Amino acid sequence: MIPNFSFTPFPQIYFGKGEFLKLADKLAGKSKKILVLIGGSSLKKSGKLDDFTLSLNKHSINYFCEVVASEPSPELVDEIAIKCKVEEVDTVLAVGGGSVLDAGKAIAAMAPLDDGIINYLEGVGTKSHPGDTLSFIAVPTTAGTGSEATKNAVISSIGENGFKKSLRHDNFIPDCAVIDPELMLSCPKALTAACGLDNITQLLESYVSSKANPISDALAFGALEKAIPAFPKVMKNGESDLEARADMAYGAFVSGITLANAGLGIVHGFASPIGGFFDIPHGVVCGTLLPAATEQNVKRLQEQSDTIHLERLNKHIKVARIFSESKDMTDEEALQNLVARFYEWTKEFKVPRLSQYGIKESDLDRIIAASGLKNNPVNLSEFDLKEILYKRL
């Protein structure tokens, strides 16, 4: 019997090579003034930004640019939202990684209000956002968070009392997602690794989630079949392998859909407090914890004998068999190979350990106290949680 479920909608999608430079044609006659939000300098260096702004000029579309150089803070969002109000912006176009997309989503949501975002963040503020928002277009340049498909923007305040909290509303799902793998060819290797492993983590966690449903299962597994073989290819030939970049871009987008509809597990339960307490990229947290978390989940699932937990263990086996060398293995060997390959990836592609960001054994209890299991496929004890973190110190 299929369990009851609901499914969140997702944006209008334009996927494929060259779609970014077609965007101005679609905006012509619809947008009077655009905020173009970018991250760092890679888009400028590639020449894509100049090409795009030329096409905006050709259509007489007014715009101004702002840069998001790190994970968005409440102060940054408020500052740019005020500029949007003064400039009478009607469309926010975010071109960048997950931080840029989250910033754009939040700015579009806060520009119509005369208030600060801190008052609307889950678990921090006390107000409910009315859902008013400017038009928002998401153009990812990394294959990681899937923010181009979700209704929440993650906002960070880093420090002793730091947090990573969401601004969330159904109306914040982007109006349009333009996914052009050409924009990802120049993504640096370290960023490609962190984003790619975050992408795979989100797909795996939503696939084995306690809240999974038939639609999220079909999407997540299909995307894992593309992303798992593509990941080592983009790490080795990332600047030239457009097909592998496209497969990872597809995986990231789908991961946004599946996490919104099936939820995530313990890796993301850790990611919020770790990212709030320490200045560590979200993708690094997910990438470095993926092997140990998978190992602990498999171990605990194998101890269960009920139908539900066996089904979730079998999902791990299906994912394990995506790796070509696992086809002739027993189920147990395939699961061992899955965990081993995840560990090998962190070593081969130099995914940092937690200690490289100042996290010590004495910090683990504080992290665990602020973490949650989310929709993890099996219950984990405090001992299990500490074991996961300790293995990646």
pLDDT at 326: 64
Q: Is residue 326 part of a domain?
A: yes
Please say which residue of 169, 184, 199 terminates a domain. Answer: 184
- For residue 73, the enclosing domain spans 12-184
Domain boundary, last residue among 131, 162, 184: 184
Residues 17 and 139 in one domain: yes
- Domain boundary (155, 184, 213) is at 184
pLDDT of residue 160: 77
Residues 89, 209 within the same domain: no
Q: What is the pLDDT of residue 327?
A: 72
Residues 6 or more apart from 75 whose CB is under 8 A from it? none
* Among candidate residues 132, 117, 73, 63, the one with its CA nearest the CA of residue 95: 63
The dihedral of CA 226, 191, 137, 108: what is its sign?
positive
Is 3 within a domain? no
Q: Is 128 found in the same domain as 28? A: yes
386: domain CATH number?
1.20.1090.10
* Tokens of residue 319, six digits: 């994912």
- What pLDDT was estimated at residue 161? 78
Q: Do 75 and 215 have their domain in common?
A: no
- The predicted pLDDT at position 239 comes to 87
pLDDT at 64: 93
C-alpha distance from residue 114 to each of 32, 34, 80, 118, 374 (Å): 22, 20, 13, 12, 33
- Residue 83 belongs to some domain of the structure: yes
User: Does some domain include residue 2?
Assistant: no
Q: What is the pLDDT along the chain (393 residues), one digit of tens a residue?
A: 788 888 988 899 999 999 999 999 999 888 889 999 999 777 777 788 889 999 999 999 999 999 998 889 999 999 999 999 999 999 999 999 999 999 999 999 999 999 999 999 999 999 999 999 999 999 999 999 999 999 999 999 888 778 889 999 999 999 999 999 999 998 999 999 999 999 999 999 999 999 999 999 999 999 999 999 999 999 999 889 999 999 999 999 999 999 999 999 999 999 999 998 999 999 999 999 999 999 999 999 999 999 999 999 999 999 999 987 667 889 999 999 999 999 999 999 999 999 999 999 999 999 999 999 999 999 999 999 999 999 999
Same domain for 44 and 23, yes or no, is yes
Domain check: are 71 and 214 in the same one? Answer: no
On whether both 151 and 18 belong to a single domain, the answer is yes
Assigned domain for 222 exists? yes
CA 57 vs CA 20, 53, 61, 135: distances in Å: 15, 6, 6, 20
Kindly state whether residue 4 falls inside one of the protein's structural domains: no
Count CB neighbours of 366 within 10 A: 11
384, 246: one domain: yes
Backbone angles phi, psi at 14, to 5 degrees: -125, 110
Q: Please count the structural domains in the chain.
A: 2
Q: Looking at the structure, tell me whether residues 87 and 221 fall in a common domain.
A: no
Neighbours of 13 (CB within 10 A): 15
CATH number (domain holding residue 51): 3.40.50.1970
What are the tokens at 249?
């871009």
The partner residues of 36 in beta bridges, in order of sequence, read 65, 93
Indicate whether 17 and 36 sit together in one domain. yes
Whether residue 355 sits in one domain with residue 269: yes
Single pTM value for the model: 0.93
- 244 and 381 both lie in a single domain: yes
Helices 282-301 and 331-348, axial angle in degrees (round to 10): 160
Query: Considering the domain boundaries, does residue 6 fall inside one?
Result: no
